[in-house]
Amino acid sequence: MKEAPLLKVVNISKAFGGVQAVLNVSLTLEKGDILGIIGPNGSGKTTLANLITGFVRPNRGTVLFKGHNITRTPPHKIANLGLTRTFQVMRPYNSLSAYKNLIVPLKSPRVRQTRGGKLGDTDAVALDILEEIGFERDARVPYKIAGSLPLGYLKRLELGRCFALDPEVIICDEIFSGLSMSEITSMIPLMERLQIEGVTLIMIEHRLRELFRLANRVIVMNFGQKIAEGIAQEVMEDPKVKKAYLGRERS
Amino acid sequence: MVDETRRKKRLDRSIKVRTEGLYAISSGAEMFYLILPRAALIVGLLALPLFLDMYWQKVLCAAGVYALLSLGFDFLAEYVGLVCLGGAFFIGTGGYISGLLNSYFGWSGLLCIPIATLGGAIFSTLVFIPALRLRGIYFAIISFMFPIFARDIITTLNIFGGTEGISALGTLPNVWTEIYLILLAVIIALFAIRRLVNEDIGLILRGIKDNDQAVKASGISITSYKIKAMFIASLLGSFGGAYLSHKYGWVGISLFAMDFSILPIAASVMGGMGSLAGPVLGAFALTPLSEALRGFGQLRVVIYCFILIGFIVYKPEGLLIYFQRKYHQFELWEKV
Ligand SMILES: Nc1ncnc2c1ncn2[C@@H]1O[C@H](COP(=O)(O)OP(=O)(O)OP(=O)(O)O)[C@@H](O)[C@H]1O
Ligand SMILES: [Mg+2]
């Protein structure tokens, strides 16, 4: 018998007033996947992430994570099950230094449980995680106020915040946007490392070329619906996908 | 006219730089530099009553209650993101619980105050829980309504002595207990809260203020932490209320008066929002000021407003940050 998928979304829908942000979207995620979600602006990608992580309640449909029905579970409980996300708009805890930002997830019930209470000095754990995520330890960066960091570091900090939770799935909402080519090139090995360490990823992206280097499967959304799904390069040949992207460029 | 050809340059005093590292504790001068402001505050507060007459000692006690409220207001606003305009509710619940315990069971003030502090804080927190999911201005408005509701419930149902209140309560043993009880409470509360905001719970609360969504995505229930913060702030207010009921030997609906909700805001602005010690200083400056201006009658409010507007416009950083800067840095004019 085949093992149940890690994450399964069935016919999920959400309307905001008259706007049908997401309509009948289904997807499955197997352990170890890197699933890409692409689509024009306003096609409902962020809303889909919000629906899966409990930040928005769906009108219809279900979300199953590791066999639990989490459709109406509040976000912090979903995070404690091991499903977390980054946010499209980077808003670190501005008044705290970078490494103190990680104390928040390290104090979650999940981390206390998985690490068996033997967390030791949380500050040291936080600094270790920052180092893993690409902050130079001896430089002063980890001690700087998070609000003063440049965007590249903020993106890493956002990933670090998720990674500190020791999660099974991270949904990354446009983690590459706003970064320079070289910054992205240095982030890609990081994502690969996360995958090797057993984290399953969903990546919402506009940077297709960089995404295709990572994702083994891609879902294309348009006007809230899933219009195509498959292997990256093949999906882009789909006429419906071409039309969605081209139609937008012309308007 | 602003002189465009020169500007103020600020440099850290060398002793400030030297006291930043751990080795500061090996040198007397550096230790003294670090301890002086804290010691001055504590010694200053504790010595002050010795130089005051009866009337001003009374004012000082009232200022202490306002200082506790201001501290709670600043903590909730700047470290949790809850702008709470319901300080009078904490005062009222603490006061009434203490007063009722005293009048029904005849327990002494010194026993009633701790019970009422805890009981008032639990009751206030329970009442505030439904409002905690609201944000910004909505929370502020609802919190402002709670003391008004409480007052109206007491007068219309005519419970707890209705508009008359409950009088002939046990008072505190003597005037020195009265004074030092509140002053010690202020000092302990100030240092405890300063400590708390840098502990893990404080970091999480500041996280909630900066970005509550990210805190949720980190697996932490923001409601349970807001409840803890609310409890801490209402402990301060309930203590103040319980204390007042035994200081006056009377409780009444004036414990729910708007002053308790509003003066802390002004004190916090004057002292410096977010500095914790600033709002405490602000309360000790503002309460006597509003007493001294009593002779001006209604005009007092106008003068009071001018002072506030002056601070918001010319010294928005507040008194404490201003003094800190003078202490840690020297200024010189340099040509541009
Ligand atoms: N909280 C909300 N209230 C009202 N409408 C919303 C809300 N969130 C999203 N929408 C609407 O739902 C639609 C989908 O938005 P969504 O943010 O999910 O798109 P997206 O694919 O993430 O776009 P982008 O690529 O620009 O980030 C948009 O029309 C948006 O205006
Ligand atoms: Mg989006």
pLDDT in tens, A34-46: 999 999 999 999 9
Q: Give the count of beta carbons closer than 10 Å to the beta carbon of residue B219.
A: 28
The rounded mean pLDDT for chain A is 90
C-alpha span between B243 and B249 (Å, rounded):
10
Mean pLDDT of B12-37: 77
Q: Which residues of chain B are within 8 Å of residue A92 when distances are taken between CB atoms?
A: 210-211, 214
CA distances from B5 to B1, B9, B285, B336 (A): 12, 13, 37, 5
Q: Is the Cβ atom of A16 under 6 angstroms away from ligand 1?
A: yes
C-alpha span between A200 and A171 (Å, rounded):
9
C-alpha span between B95 and A108 (Å, rounded):
37
Helix (H, G, I), strand (E, B) or coil at B102: helix
Taking the centre of ligand 1 as the mean of its atom positions, its distance from the CA of residue A17, in whole angstroms, is 12
Give the phi and the psi of residue A13 in degrees, each rounded to 5: -140, 145
**Residue A61: what pLDDT?**
96
CA B239 to mean position of chain CA atoms: 12
C-alpha span between A54 and A68 (Å, rounded):
13
Is B211 an 8 Å CB contact of chain A?
yes
What contacts 24+ positions apart, CB below 8 Å, involve B197-205?
A: B197/B75, B197/B79, B197/B276, B200/A103, B200/A107, B200/A122, B201/B225, B201/B228, B202/B79, B203/A93, B203/A96, B203/A100, B203/A103, B203/A104, B204/A103, B204/A104, B204/A107, B205/B79, B205/B80, B205/B229
**Residue B24: what pLDDT?**
67
Q: Which residue has the tokens 């200082």?
A: B67
**Residue A250: what pLDDT?**
44
- The pTM of the full predicted model, rounded to 2 decimals, is 0.91
**What residues form DSSP beta bridges with A172?**
A203
**Residue A122: what pLDDT?**
87
Q: Which residues of chain A are within 8 Å of residue B206 when distances are taken between CB atoms?
A: 93, 95-96
pLDDT digits (tens, 9 = 90+) for A13-27: 999 999 999 999 999
In chain B, pLDDT over 90 holds for what percent of residues?
63
**Residue B67: what pLDDT?**
97
Q: Quick one: pLDDT band at residue A251, thresholds 50, 70, 90? A: very low
Q: Quick one: pLDDT band at residue B78, thresholds 50, 70, 90? A: very high
C-alpha span between A34 and A37 (Å, rounded):
10
Residue A29 pLDDT > 60: yes
- CB nearest A79 (choices: B207, B211, B219): B219
pLDDT digits (tens, 9 = 90+) for B98-115: 999 999 999 998 999 999
E-assigned strand segments in chain A: 7-16, 19-29, 34-38, 60-65, 68-69, 83-85, 169-173, 200-204, 217-222, 225-230
Do residues B149 and B157 touch, judged by C-beta distance below 8 A? no
pLDDT digits (tens, 9 = 90+) for A115-160: 765 667 888 889 999 998 888 766 788 888 998 899 999 999 999 9
Q: Which residue has the tokens 């206030």?
A: B124
CB pair distance less than 8 Å for B210 and A96:
yes
Q: Quick one: pLDDT band at residue B336, thresholds 50, 70, 90? A: confident
Taking the centre of ligand 1 as the mean of its atom positions, its distance from the CA of residue B80, in whole angstroms, is 29
CB pair distance less than 8 Å for A87 and B217:
yes
Domains and CATH numbers, chain B: 7-23+59-335 (1.10.3470)
pLDDT digits (tens, 9 = 90+) for B279-306: 999 999 999 987 887 777 667 667 767 8
C-alpha span between B168 and A103 (Å, rounded):
51
Q: Give the count of beta carbons closer than 10 Å to the beta carbon of residue A238.
A: 15
Taking the centre of ligand 1 as the mean of its atom positions, its distance from the CA of residue A42, in whole angstroms, is 5
Taking the centre of ligand 2 as the mean of its atom positions, its distance from the CA of residue A57, in whole angstroms, is 17
Please state the atom number of ligand 1 nearest to the C-alpha of residue A174.
27
Which runs of consecutive H residues, i.e. helices, occur in chain B?
Answer: 14-18, 28-47, 54-79, 87-105, 109-128, 136-157, 175-196, 200-210, 212-217, 222-248, 259-271, 277-292, 299-314, 318-328
CB pair distance less than 8 Å for B210 and A75:
no
Do residues B106 and B166 touch, judged by C-beta distance below 8 A? no
> Å from B225 to nearest chain A CA?
12
Residue nearest to atom 16 of ligand 1 (CA): A44
Token pair of B45, please?
Answer: 């507060």
The rounded mean pLDDT for chain B is 90
Domains and CATH numbers, chain A: 7-246 (3.40.50.300)
Q: Is the Cβ atom of A47 under 6 angstroms away from ligand 1?
A: yes
Residue B2 pLDDT > 60: no
- B244: alpha, beta or left? (left if phi > 0; alpha if psi -120 to 50): alpha
**Residue B96: what pLDDT?**
97
CB pair distance less than 8 Å for B216 and A93:
no
ipTM of the complex: 0.93
pLDDT digits (tens, 9 = 90+) for B173-225: 899 999 999 999 999 999 999 999 999 999 999 999 999 999 999 999 999 99
Q: Which residue has the tokens 């970078």?
A: A98
**Residue A101: what pLDDT?**
95
Q: How many residues does chain B have?
A: 336
Q: Which of B198, B200, B218, B273 to probe the A interface (max A CBs under 10 A)?
A: B218
Q: Quick one: pLDDT band at residue B34, thresholds 50, 70, 90? A: confident
Residue A188 pLDDT > 60: yes
Nearest CA among B238, B297, B214 for reference residue B72: B238
* Rg of chain B over all Cα atoms, to the nearest angstrom: 21
Helix (H, G, I), strand (E, B) or coil at A107: coil
CB pair distance less than 8 Å for A87 and B216:
no
Do residues B167 and B249 touch, judged by C-beta distance below 8 A? yes
Q: Which residue has the tokens 């197997």?
A: A30
Residue B251 pLDDT > 60: yes
Do residues A49 and A88 touch, judged by C-beta distance below 8 A? no
**Residue B209: what pLDDT?**
95
C-alpha span between A157 and B195 (Å, rounded):
26
Do residues B124 and B90 touch, judged by C-beta distance below 8 A? yes
CB pair distance less than 8 Å for B219 and A161:
no
